[in-house]
Structures are given as C-alpha cells and as structure tokens.
Amino acid sequence: MFNCLHSVAPGYLITMCQPVTENPGRRYLRSAVRRDLVVPATRTVRFGPRSVAAAGPSTWNTLPVGLRHQQLFAVTFRHLKTVLFRSTVSSAHP
C-alpha cells in the first residue's frame, strides 16, 4: 500500500488504492485527515473481503497513523511487525 500511495507500484495496483481525500464527498472527514484509503464494497461475503482491492486498504487503515505518515525505514518496519504481531495474537486469543 505504501508503494501504491507513492506511485512506485504497478499501475493496476495503484488504481486499487484510492485515498479518501480524492472522493469529493468525503474530503473533510476524519478518515481523510488520517489518510485512510477507500475500501470498496464487495458483492460476496466469503471472497470479496479477501481480494487485494479490499484487504489491502482495510489493512492499511488499521495501522497506527504514525506508521503511515513516516518514510518506511528499518526502524519503522520493526514497529510495523510489532503492531501486526500484537493484532494477530489478540485476535487468536479471545
């Protein structure tokens, strides 16, 4: 997602990652200030949310804002790994 937002990814992936700020009706929402991505609606419950177009932006939106605004250096990757590990562990143990 980071590469898509910085136009480093292939074109077909970049088109899947649309910031909320590009939608005129949502430009002034809190999600636009946090630089969230638009998560498209899906037709199916089973496979739709697993697609790259839906799973990528929704995962990006769950990251802490501090990790999204910084340039991704080695230190940031360490923080990202910690965040993802904690979310996986907390969802596995109710």
Label residue 63 by pLDDT band (50, 70, 90).
Answer: confident
pTM check: above 0.75: no
Predicted local distance difference test score (pLDDT) of residue 85:
79
Name which of 43, 42, 35, 30 is nearest 18 in CA terms: 35
The residue to which tokens 């143990």 are assigned: 93
**How many other CB atoms are found less than 10 A from the CB of residue 42?**
14
pLDDT in tens, 3-32: 777 788 888 888 888 888 777 877 777 776
Span 64-86, pLDDT tens digits:
777 776 565 556 667 777 777 78
